[in-house]
């Protein structure tokens, strides 16, 4: 092994610090200066920074500087470049967060902390099926009832799901590592506890899969990318520890588009089980594909800008993207400290509620997380929840930019049958797309060393929109504009707070519209669930948006819709 490669591998394979994923000014120093790449590139090459370099950098930054002012800047820029060069000599593991926090809560507000007992649906155990594999598509609530009634064992379910993964993965490419030894030990322990009458909760004994950006001791955590495929950590991610304590059984580390983008990873493209010539979308590609294909009882995904929403849509599963600051990201790969979120991808809304309840809350390391109440009541009357809908988006004509209008209109008719009167609301108008530089700058900072070392060339995707090119171009985002984008984000947070003063839950088409980008910037939660199938058999989805820390009413409204339909009960035949 080349000496530089060996050094890089030793750095990446060391124990990660307990991650305190802070940051909404992340990357302002590392990801950009006023004129980032041009000046630094000249200095790195030993070239003198001169007037032509300032002119070129100013053009990239979109500013005009007079000749006299450029002359005055020269000495200061030379010193600034020296400081940046010194800064880059300090090793920064991905686990090290910026020293500032992003908080989606508007000034003067705080989440409710008065926790009441969770009130899930009452599910009775069915009979043990003659063919155990017929349970592959059962919900968490159904599997849990069978386990607690001792009609099936956790070992049986674990072996069944692992066998399906081994059989179907050559088609789906949804699995990076099967954690078989760990899983069977957990399953045997779960069976012993259940037989002794000790029930840890609704997830006890249920097999699940983790997106492979969550650290699990004893197994590689690859982030889906070749430069990290041998990476090992010495501690579990908080979410993994919490699901261990809940008695859930981790059977696999599932694929993600490399470094949390798309559905292509170092082993190929993860497939949509409904249409095998199609990718499963991303970046939670494996969780979406494996859950839809009946290879896990549930999965954990992450979202920065659509990575739960998009694969939930493509694979026809139910996904919950929680409020920013609900679930600790300790031990998860950092892409954007102020936008990353962790959430469940399941077969039903109530499954999402039960998994979410097991993973939420402070861990003392991710300082963005609040201990907010989650007062889940599966039978809460809909009349007690203020429900709105994005009328102007639903009213758009069907066309190239809006291909799900007939499905979305049918969804509104379901609410009418339920006796729900929907209030017309409109989203605050802001240039959300312009604020996407926040993600780009933070991602560039998170993988700065990978970019400067040149190892980004080892990544599977190298196109214009792939991370290597994005990381390089992120160095040309002015720090001033990055911070100003966050100031505009503050305006968005205030506007969305006013919107949710009059409404609790909003029904929205998954696309078109600005809701996806907007809510990932403001930190609002969303539920995405299947609500129909195209002529080619592929699913489409409907999105529900909630107030900050308003997952309980959000999930209740989504559950009411799902209970009135049967789309989540359909599954692909492989």
**Per-residue model confidence as pLDDT tens digits over 397-415:** 998 889 999 999 999 999 9
Note the Cα 132 to chain centre separation in Å: 32
Could you count the other beta carbons within 10 Å of the beta carbon of residue 424?
11
The least confident of 22-36, 350-364, 542-556 is 22-36
Active-site residue 474, yes or no? no
Q: Residue 307 catalytic?
A: yes
262 contacts: CB under 8 Å, gap ≥ 6: 279, 281, 282, 283, 285, 461
Q: What is the mean pLDDT of the chain?
A: 91
Summarize the confidence of residues 537-544 as an average pLDDT: 98
State residue 38's pLDDT score. 56
Give the HSE-up count for residue 442: Cα atoms under 13 Å, Cβ half-sphere: 29
* Burial (Cβ within 10 Å: 0-12, 13-18, ≥19) of residue 405: middle
The whole-number pLDDT of residue 14 equals: 35
Q: In this structure, is the dihedral angle defined by the CA atoms of residues 323, 394, 569 and 166, taken in order, positive or negative?
A: negative
**Is the confidence at residue 1, as pLDDT, over 50?**
no
pLDDT of residue 43: 52
Between CA 301 and CA 278 the distance in angstroms is 20
- Nearest 5 degrees, angle CA 281-CA 467-CA 233? 85
Sheet with 505-509, edge to edge strand ranges: 175-178, 249-254, 207-211, 298-303, 341-346, 318-321, 526-533, 539-546, 505-509, 387-390, 423-425
Q: What is the pLDDT of residue 9?
A: 34
Residue 36 confidence class, pLDDT cut points 50, 70, 90: very low
454, pLDDT greater than 90: yes
* Residue from 42, 173, 211, 341 carrying the catalytic annotation: 211
pLDDT score for 46: 52
What are 226-261's pLDDT values in tens digits?
A: 999 999 999 999 999 999 999 999 999 999 999 999
Model pTM? Answer: 0.90
pLDDT of residue 44: 54
211 catalytic? Reply is yes
Q: How far apart are CA 42 and CA 168, in angstroms?
A: 51
pLDDT of residue 193: 98
pLDDT band at 83 (very low <50, low <70, confident <90, very high): confident
Query: What's the pLDDT tens digit per position in 42-57?
Result: 555 556 789 998 999 8
Q: What is the CA radius of gyration of the chain?
A: 24
Dihedrals phi, psi of 240, to nearest 5 degrees: -65, -45
User: Which pLDDT score, from 0 to 100, does residue 231 have?
Assistant: 97
**Among 20-29, 176-185, 272-281, which is the least confidently predicted range?**
20-29
97-101, 374-378, 404-408, 502-506, range with the lowest pLDDT: 97-101
pLDDT at residue 79 greater than cutoff 90: no
What whole-number distance in Å separates Cα of residue 440 and Cα of residue 329? 19
Section 107-113 average pLDDT: 89
Residue 442, phi then psi, degrees to nearest 5: -70, -40
Is the pLDDT assigned to residue 185 strictly greater than 50? Answer: yes
Q: What's the CA gap between 180 and 173, in Å, rounded?
A: 17
CA distances from 10 to 4, 19, 230 (A): 10, 19, 10
Backbone angles phi, psi at 158, to 5 degrees: -65, -45
Residue-level pLDDT at 400: 82
Q: Is 316 helix (H, G, I), strand (E, B) or coil?
A: coil
Q: Which residue has the higher pLDDT, 475 or 165?
A: 165
- Catalytic residue (one of 283, 284, 310, 312): 283
List the alpha helices (DSSP H) in 98-224. Answer: 140-148, 154-172, 180-195
DSSP E strand stretches across 383-497: 387-390, 423-425
The top-level CATH class assigned to 137-430+484-569 is alpha beta
Which of 154, 307, 474, 511 is catalytic? The answer is 307
CB 154 within 8 A of CB 234: no
Name the DSSP class of 402: B
Q: In the prediction, which pLDDT does 434 show? A: 96
Task: Match 């997106």 to its residue by tokens.
Answer: 211
Domain ranges (residues) in the chain = 137-430+484-569
Residue 261 tokens read as: 């983008």
CB-CB neighbours of 457 under 10 Å: 11
* Sole residue written with tokens 């991710």: 366
Q: What values do phi and psi take at 261, rounded to 5? A: -145, 125
Q: Please give the distance of CA 434 from its chain centroid, rounded to a whole number.
A: 21
């Amino acid at each position: 092994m080349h000496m530089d490669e060996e050094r890089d591998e030793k750095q990446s394979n060391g124990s990660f610090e307990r991650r305190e994923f802070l940051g909404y000014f992340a990357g302002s120093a590392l990801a950009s200066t006023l004129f980032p790449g041009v000046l630094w590139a000249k200095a790195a090459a030993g070239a003198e920074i001169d007037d032509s370099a300032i002119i070129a950098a100013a053009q990239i930054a979109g500013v005009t500087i007079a000749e006299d002012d450029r002359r005055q800047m020269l000495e200061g820029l030379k010193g600034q470049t020296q400081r940046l060069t010194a800064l880059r000599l300090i090793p920064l593991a991905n686990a090290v967060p910026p020293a500032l926090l992003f908080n989606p809560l508007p000034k003067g507000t705080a989440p409710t902390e008065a926790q009441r007992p969770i009130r899930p649906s009452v599910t009775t155990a069915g009979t043990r099926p003659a063919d155990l594999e017929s349970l592959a598509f059962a919900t968490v609530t159904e599997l849990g009832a069978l386990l607690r009634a001792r009609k099936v064992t956790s070992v049986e379910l674990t072996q069944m799901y692992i066998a399906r993964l081994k059989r179907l993965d050559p088609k789906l490419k949804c699995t990076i590592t099967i954690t078989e030894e760990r899983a069977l030990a957990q399953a045997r322990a779960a069976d012993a506890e259940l037989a002794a009458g000790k029930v840890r909760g609704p997830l006890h004994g249920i097999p699940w899969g983790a997106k492979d950006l969550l650290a699990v001791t004893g197994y590689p955590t690859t982030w889906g990318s070749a430069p990290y495929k041998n990476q090992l950590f010495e501690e579990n991610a908080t979410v993994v520890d919490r699901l261990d304590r809940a008695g859930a059984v981790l059977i696999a580390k599932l694929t993600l588009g490399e470094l949390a983008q798309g559905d292509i990873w170092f082993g190929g493209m993860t497939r949509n089980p409904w249409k095998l010539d199609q990718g499963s979308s991303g970046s939670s590609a494996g969780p979406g594909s494996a859950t839809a294909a009946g290879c896990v009882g549930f999965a954990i995904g992450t979202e920065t800008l659509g990575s739960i929403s998009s694969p939930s849509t493509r694979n026809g599963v139910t996904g919950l993207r929680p409020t920013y600051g609900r679930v600790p990201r300790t031990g998860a790969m950092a892409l954007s400290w102020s936008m990353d979120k962790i959430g469940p991808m399941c077969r039903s809304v109530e499954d999402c509620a039960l998994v979410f309840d097991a993973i939420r809350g402070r861990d003392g390391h991710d300082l963005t997380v609040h201990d907010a109440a989650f007062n889940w009541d599966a039978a809460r009357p809909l009349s007690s929840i203020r429900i709105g809908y994005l009328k102007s988006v639903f009213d758009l004509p069907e066309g190239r930019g809006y291909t799900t209008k007939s499905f979305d209109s049918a969804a509104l008719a379901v609410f009418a049958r339920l006796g729900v009167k929907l209030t017309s609301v409109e989203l605050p108008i802001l240039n959300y797309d312009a604020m996407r530089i926040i993600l780009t700058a933070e991602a560039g900072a998170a993988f700065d060393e990978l970019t400067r070392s040149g190892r980004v060339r080892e990544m599977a995707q190298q196109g214009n929109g792939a991370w290597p090119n994005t990381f390089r171009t992120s160095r040309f985002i002015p720090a001033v504009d990055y911070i100003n984008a966050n100031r505009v984000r503050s305006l968005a947070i205030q506007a969305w707070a006013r919107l949710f003063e009059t409404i609790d839950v909003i029904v929205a088409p998954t696309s078109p519209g600005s809701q996806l980008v907007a809510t990932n910037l403001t930190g609002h939660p969303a539920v995405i669930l299947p609500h129909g199938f195209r002529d080619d058999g592929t699913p489409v989805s409907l999105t529900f948006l909630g107030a900050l820390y308003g997952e309980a009413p959000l999930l209740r409204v989504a559950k009411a819709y799902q209970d009135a339909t049967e789309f989540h009960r359909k599954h692909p035949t492989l």
